[in-house]
Amino acid sequence: MSTTASGYRKLSIVIPAFNSSGWITQCLEHLSVALKNAQISDAEVIVVDDGSTDGTGQEAQQFLELDVQVITQENQGRFLARENGLANCTGSHVLFLDTRVFLAETSLTFVLPFLNEADSSLWTAHVEANTTRNPIARFWRAIESIFWRRYMKNPATTSFGLEDFDYYPKGTTALIAPTGLIRDAIAAFRPTVADWRKVNDDTALLRYAAERTRINISPQYACTYNARTNLKAFLHHANHRGSVLIDGYLRKGTRLNIPIWGVLLLAPIGLALSLMFWEIAVGALVLIPFALFVFVSILSINKIDAMVLAGLFWPFSISYLCGMYWGLWLKVSHKN
């Protein structure tokens, strides 16, 4: 039994925000509904404006349905923005929320009774991608359905620990946890890259938590993620994900450590071979996405999601791989 929680008393919400004009209001609107439905009237809401240039902080201050405290800082990335917000929290539990994430209206109502028990006081959200008028969101939904298949094939309330940590979806988006535990996790965090905007603040913090308590997940503690809607933003985000993958998973003991090294070493060989045998390479441009579509369809994943995954495979792979090499460079540079 973990002793990381001493009972729920008050909820603090920390929302890092960078150039999130429009999104921040919608995020706060959904949060307000969830708080009201859970009859939480004393929550503190802290928005950390991470060097925005589009008036995000001012927009948050103008939201009157909640008592919002806005903290401003230079652009330093989500991790340091959250740390800044956490330093100003007074609640027994903290909810990390991102501006493109909308809490389900009954999510806090469901999770609140669990927070008094140590082994049910940490929750990672069940994330649904908003695919309305956004086919790109279907790509991410397909990826999650494959990679986190153990949970996604039949979502239900469950928990996991360090032994099966790498087989369940998790993130600090809409994470709710004892404030003390998260403060300890942040204090113990050691990035492998020098640029704090490229650190993986999900995996390391949650792995620290999983060593001390169970991580809970349920489709009843849910949120909606609003993905980027155009190809340029999608590829930029893919590149960023590739770079933070290195900090989060290119570590001994993780499920992906060896596969990542394999990709990093084999990709240049594959490029060289494709230049030498360009006829085969042209065929591969078509055959690999088609084979991926067939494979994903066999897993009973939504056919439209499978089509989007196959269609965006090459643009995503190139951008993501470039991000991985950039993340590797940052890691090597940090060591030196």
| 91-119 residue pLDDT tens | 999 999 999 999 999 999 999 999 999 88
Q: What is the H or E stretch that residue 325 is in?
A: helix 313-335
End-to-end CA distance of the chain: give it in Å, rounded.
Answer: 41
Per-residue model confidence (pLDDT) at position 25:
98
Q: Are residues 132 and 154 in the same domain?
A: yes
Query: What's the rounded mean pLDDT across residues 218-226?
Result: 97
Distance of alpha carbon 58 from alpha carbon 91, whole angstroms: 24
Q: Are 125 and 171 spatial neighbours (Cβ–Cβ below 8 Å)?
A: yes
Q: Are 289 and 316 in contact (CB under 8 A)?
A: no
Q: Are residues 79 and 30 in the same domain?
A: yes
**pLDDT number for residue 88:** 96
For 70, phi and psi rounded to 5 degrees?
-110, 125
Interval 41-66: pLDDT, tens: 999 999 999 999 999 999 999 999 99
Residues 115 and 201 in one domain: yes
Sequence-distant (≥ 6) Cβ neighbours of residue 282 within 8 angstroms: none
Looking at the structure of the chain, the number of domains it has is 2
pLDDT in tens, 148-191: 999 999 999 999 999 998 889 998 989 999 999 999 999 998 88
Tell me whether residue 6 is in a domain: no
Q: Is the pLDDT of residue 208 over 70?
A: yes
pLDDT of residue 157: 97
Average pLDDT value for residue range 208-236: 94
User: Which residue segment(s) compose the domain that 323 sits in?
Assistant: 237-335
- Whether 174 maps to a domain, the answer reads yes
CATH of the domain at 47: 3.90.550.10
Looking at 204, 229, 254, the residue that finishes a domain is: 229
Residue at 328: amino acid letter: L
Residue for token digits 């509904």? 33
> 116-130 pLDDT, tens per residue?
998 899 999 999 999
Cα within 13 Å of Cα(94), Cβ side? 24
State residue 3's pLDDT score: 39
Question: Tell me: the pLDDT tens digits for 233-281?
Answer: 999 999 999 998 998 888 887 888 999 999 999 999 999 999 999 999 9
pLDDT beyond 80 at 201:
no
pLDDT at 6: 55
Beta strands in 74-230 (DSSP E): 93-96, 101-103, 126-129, 158-160, 175-178, 215-217, 222-225
What stretches of the chain adopt beta strand conformation (E)? 11-17, 44-50, 68-73, 93-96, 101-103, 126-129, 158-160, 175-178, 215-217, 222-225
Question: For residues 227 and 243, what is the distance between their CA atoms, to the nearest angstrom?
Answer: 18
- 191 plus 294 within the same structural domain: no
**Whether residues 221 and 133 fall in one domain:** yes
Instruction: Please give the single-letter amino acid code of residue 106.
Output: T
For position 247, what pLDDT does the model report? 86
160 shares a domain with 39:
yes
CB–CB of 173/125 below 8 Å? yes
| pLDDT tops 80 at residue 2 | no
Specify burial of residue 331 (Cβ count, 10 A radius: 0-12, 13-18, 19+): buried
Quote the tokens at residue 129.
């991608």
Residue 96 lies inside a defined structural domain of this protein? yes
**Domain co-membership, 246 together with 321:** yes
Is residue 205 within 8 A of residue 185, CB to CB? The reply is: yes
Mark whether 140 and 271 lie in a shared domain. no
pLDDT one-digit tens code per residue, 291-333 = 999 999 998 899 999 999 999 999 999 999 999 999 999 888 8
Which pLDDT belongs to residue 5? 46
* Shared-domain flag, residues 28 and 165: yes
Query: Does 216 share its domain with 311?
Result: no
Judged against a pLDDT cut of 80, whether residue 334 lies above it is answered with: no
Q: CA angle at residue 235 from 232 to 240, to 5 degrees? A: 125
129 assigned to some structural domain: yes
| Residue 310, pLDDT score | 96
Q: Is 65 exposed, middle or buried (0-12, 13-18, 19+ CB in 10 A)?
A: middle
State what percent of residues in the chain have pLDDT above 90. Answer: 79
Question: Can you tell me the distance from the alpha carbon of 246 to that of 147, in angstroms, rounded to the nearest whole number?
Answer: 17
Same domain, 18 and 74: yes
Task: State residue 1's pLDDT score.
Answer: 33
